[in-house]
Structure 1
Amino acid sequence: MPKKERKRLQVVISEEQDALLTKTAYELSSPERLISKSEVVRLAIEKIAKELGEGEELSEYRALLDADDLRDD
């Protein structure tokens, strides 16, 4: 069976965001399966898309994006 082709995305994140990714990956991991930071990002993308599809308020996400710690430089 051929390997699933994936697109690569590079983003710049702060040290605090990297620490959150590391902490989340650690918390989601179990002795049987280690979760990578990339898997956490993919999970977050799917969760946000699902919530938006279910009518989640855009204003909450826009407020988070407007926060200084998430803004692109």
Structure 2
Amino acid sequence: MPKKERKRLQVVISDEQDALLTKTAYELSSPERLISKSEVVRLAIEKIAREMGEDALLDDYRALLEKDEVRDD
């Protein structure tokens, strides 16, 4: 069975954001299954996309992006 093709995305994150990713991955992990930081990012993308479909929290997300010091310019 061929492997599922995946796209790679490289982003620059702060030390604080990396620490949040690490903490979240650790908290989501269990003795039976370790969760990677990449899996946390994929989960967050899906969650945000679902919430955008429901028009929930969009202003909160926009405010976080405006506050963010790391921009894609």
When normalised by structure 1's length, the TM-score is 0.90
* Structure 2 residue runs without a partner (length 5+): none
Structure 1 residue 13, shift from structure 2 partner: 0.3
Instruction: Give the secondary-structure state (helix, strand or coil) at the position aligned to 1:35.
Output: coil
- Matched with 2:34 is 34
- Matched with 1:62 is 62
Structure 1 residue 55, shift from structure 2 partner: 1.9
Work out the number of aligned pairs and report it. Answer: 72
When normalised by structure 2's length, the TM-score is 0.90
Q: Relative contact order (alpha carbons < 8 A, sep ≥ 6): 1 or 2 greater?
A: 2
Where in structure 2 are the equivalents of 1:1-20 lying within 5 Å?
1-20=1-20
- Matched with 1:52 is 52
- Matched with 1:25 is 25
Q: Which runs of 4 or more aligned residues in structure 1 lie more than 4 Å from their structure 2 counterparts after TM superposition?
A: none
Structure 1 residue 58, shift from structure 2 partner: 2.0
* Structure 1 residue runs without a partner (length 5+): none
Structure 1 residue 68, shift from structure 2 partner: 3.7
Compared CA separation, residues 18 and 53, structure 1 to 2 (3 A)? same
Structure 1 residue 2, shift from structure 2 partner: 1.1
